[in-house]
Amino acid sequence: MDPRNPPPPSPRAPSSRPNPFLGPVLAGIGVVALLVAVKSAGLATPPRQLLLGARWVTTALFAAYAVKRRSLTTWIIVAMLIGAGIGFDAPSLGTQLRLLSLIFLRLIKTIIAPLIFATLVVGIAGHHDLKQVGRMGVKSLVYFEIVTTLALFIGLAAINISQAGRGIKLPPAPQTAEIQAVKQTASDVILHIFPENIAKSVAEAQILQVVIFAILFGIALALVPEVKRRPILTVTESLAEVMFKFTNIVMHFAPIGVGCAIAYTVGHMGLGVLVNLLKLLLTFYAAILVFILIVLFPVALLIKAPIKKFLAAVADPVALAFATTSSEAALPRAMEAMEAIGVPRRVVAFVMPTGYSFNLDGSSLYLSLAAIFVAQAAGVHMPFGQQVLLVFTLMLTSKGVAGVPRAALVILLGTVAQFNLPVEPVFIILGIDELMDMARTSLNVLGNSFATVVIAKWEGEFGKEHPSRVVQEAVEP
């Protein structure tokens, strides 16, 4: 490597100095767990003040640990614990904190329409050279659609089997009538997909109509001459970047929004809701494992991919995605790793960026699972036909949202609004969204990296082009 151009440091590089509060936090968790175990087993009845003090001292130590660590993930977990404590110990105060969680929700909702419009237009018009790419472009899009659709249905099956959302009793929403299903004919449903006024669609949060408009706009933009297309494409690319930054700014308010949402939820429903959260988290991780074993692994065997070599190459990008919860942070490293194991550069350069718009396996699985969880928590029965319609909606709305931390949350809120479901269960999911985001982002990177191998094998070009010396040096340990 040129010493004048050293490689950039890895994001979120762990500090070599251990956090001094880690030991006390673990000790506090141990004390609280011991007291709860003794009380649950009936061996003794610790004073309520002792349990209360132990919980809040441990939470304070965890907050001090978060200050030293300076990680949004850690702060959201701390906020969740503080919110649960406030909701349990002072339910009336917890319910009054709902205002802050609603402010956070409104800020998130403002992102939905411009983000989806900009990313979809860039994803379509930015790849206007699909005609020149030819077979590779068609094969990539076919593979992307098949795999992401399977991910959506696996998430659908997983949440219907586990029923993680059942048993949650939501507080009544203020000034709203009881949720009633509106009977619509097939023609009404189809007609409702298409916008009559894009401003009206944005104002009414008709996300599917925004998607249709963005798709048609992107196709039209791709067909105009370069001199006319480039300025509009530049504007939409800039809009997409601005909305991603907007998302990041809003997410700095996430710990307060999450903490207040959990305080309100626990204040109304008690700590039993945390059992549902644990079931949801386990369901999601199990669904990811099933997806890898019954979708990606059989495809790898079918195309005779070098599985061990691939796993060794993709380990670093996936770990980076897991730590940063951002697929974009892992993109350069993943592209280098795939070229190093024998995927031609031209295949990597097309398939991987395109996959970041159309092949988000982890996000697709998460969205279908989380959307049905919201319906279950709200006590809304969704027949299979309506669930299929929801999957179809997610097939469109999930496209074009690149691997920005918690971007899938924006899509989930838009889909929930599309199906007239309450937002309170989304706040419940938000409490563990960081833990879910780590897994879904990792699967996004794994799926996109694997897609380059599939297309290279399909084209008969895998291993026929030696990687450059620069790439080999970059991936060497």
Same-domain pairing of 67 and 199: no
| Residue of higher predicted confidence among 228 and 316 | 228
pLDDT at 97 over 70: yes
* Structural domains counted in the chain: 2
Distance from chain centroid for Cα 272: 25
Which pLDDT band, with edges at 50, 70 and 90, does 157 fall under? very high
6 belongs to a structural domain: no
**Whether residues 352 and 460 fall in one domain:** yes
Write down the pLDDT at residue 17: 64
Q: Please choose, from the candidates 407, 368, 415, the residue with its C-alpha nearest in 3D space to the C-alpha of residue 387.
A: 368
Distance CA 111, CA 78 (A): 26
The predicted-structure confidence for 105-144, as pLDDT tens digits, reads as follows 778 778 777 877 887 787 677 765 555 455 777 888 889 8
Token representation of residue 452 = 């380059």
Reading the block at residue 363, the tokens are: 């996000």
Report how far residue 473's alpha carbon sits from residue 9's, in angstroms, rounded to the nearest whole number.
Answer: 16
Domain boundaries, position 133: 99-171+185-475
Same domain, 127 and 74: no
351-383: pLDDT as tens digits? 877 777 678 888 889 888 888 888 888 888 888
Better-predicted residue by pLDDT, 260 or 135: 260
Residues 194 and 61 in one domain: no
**56 and 152 together in one domain:** no
Q: State whether 250 and 343 are in the same domain.
A: yes
In this prediction, residues 161-186 reach a mean pLDDT of 56
* Tens digits of residue pLDDT in 262-272: 787 777 666 66
Confidence of residue 58 (pLDDT cuts 50, 70, 90): confident
Is 31 part of a structural domain of the chain?
A: yes
Model pTM score: 0.61
Q: Which of 38, 67, 97 is the last residue before a domain boundary?
A: 97
Domain assignment of residue 413, yes or no: yes
Instruction: Yes or no: say if 234 and 143 are a contact pair by the CB < 8 Å rule.
Output: no
What residues contact residue 90 under an 8 Å CB cut-off, 6+ apart? 267
Tokens of 475: 């991936």
Specify the higher pLDDT residue, 441 or 133: 441
- Residue 179's pLDDT is 35
Token readout for 38 is 């003794």
* Same domain assignment for residues 162 and 246: yes
Domain check: are 83 and 203 in the same one? no
Is there a domain that residue 11 lies in? no
CA torsion through residues 227, 229, 231, 233, sign:
negative
Q: Give the domain-ending residue among 65, 97, 129.
A: 97
- With a pLDDT cut of 90, the percent of the chain lying above it is 10
Residue 32 lies in a domain: yes
Contacts of residue 197, Cβ cutoff 8 Å, sequence gap at least 6: none
CA pseudo-torsion sign 389, 393, 395, 396: positive
What is the rounded distance in angstroms from the CA atom of residue 452 to the CA atom of residue 383? Answer: 37
If you search the block for the tokens 């993709």, which residue do you land on? 314
Give a yes or no: residue 178 inside a domain.
no
311 in a structural domain: yes
In this structure, the answer to whether residues 312 and 443 fall within a common structural domain is yes
| Same domain, residue pair 106 and 234 | yes
Question: Does one domain contain both 308 and 360?
Answer: yes
Q: CATH code at 103?
A: 1.10.3860.10
For residues 230 and 328, state if they share a domain.
yes
Return the sign of the alpha-carbon dihedral for residues 329, 333, 338, 341: negative
With 70 as the cut, is the pLDDT of residue 161 above it? yes
CA 260-264-266 angle, 5° bins:
115
- 167: alpha, beta or left, given left = phi > 0 and alpha = psi -120 to 50? left
From 97, 131, 148, give the residue that closes a domain: 97
